Chain A
Amino acid sequence: QKEVEQNSGPLSVPEGAIASLNCTYSDRGSQSFFWYRQYSGKSPELIMSIYSNGDKEDGRFTAQLNKASQYVSLLIRDSQPSDSATYLCAVKVGNEKLTFGTGTRLTIIP
């Protein structure tokens, strides 16, 4: 079992709709959770961090964490073509390193 799992996609969503991205992790000791956006050929860009159970909202983005189910998700409301990218889920367990999933490729269809 991979430490951090994401559906690789591609996930296609019409412009203006809600995009839902999911991530599961295997280590129950995981403490911090992050979503990064990565455009093709570019480096990861932090968009959300979440540390406790529940929802965290920032503009059009909402991160959801459920530690009991070992599940973290990212919702993007009012999806825009500029949201088309690969979204990486990253998890920190104890020490400083981040463990990343393989990413979900999101395409927003105009």
Chain B
Amino acid sequence: DTGVSQDPRHKITKRGQNVTFRCDPISEHNRLYWYRQTLGQGPEFLTYFQNEAQLEKSRLLSDRFSAERPKGSFSTLEIQRTEQGDSAMYLCASSLYEGQPQHFGDGTRLSIL
């Protein structure tokens, strides 16, 4: 199996702009997760999908953040009106079914100028 794929790897944008990240999970993994990691911290949970259903959202996920997984395959995470505090590594992970380990992609590093 190919691993979790994320695009782009790096994104530099000006404050106030909108950005969108894509994640392609491991084939046949029906659970997909988004995390955010800042320097010196562990990843923090943002949201997760079972197939196309978004089942949980963290309080970290403000109204400026939205995630979709329209056909239960790839997912997108959009951040509107970016702020300096959004600078982080955005990690996507997938798992085959409940309780199974989550496997991470290489992440998208977002830098806000």
Contact = CB atoms under 8 A, between A and B. Distances in A.
Nearest to B47: A97
Contacts, number: 57
A96 B40 contact: no
B101 A46 contact: yes
Given A32-B99, A43-B105, A43-B107, A97 B91 contact: no
A66 B45 CA distance: 25
A33 B40 CA distance: 21
Interface residues of A, number: 25
B56 interface: yes
B43 interface: yes
Contacts of A31: 99
Interface size bucket, B side?
Answer: 20 to 34
A44 interface: yes
Contact of A45 (B35, B89, B104): B104
Contacts of A100: 42-44
Interface in A84-110: 88, 90, 92, 95-103
Interface string A6-49: 00100000000000000000000001101010000011111001
Given A43-B105, A95-B56, A101 B42 contact: yes
Interface of A: 4, 8, 31-32, 34, 36, 42-46, 49, 51, 88, 90, 92, 95-103
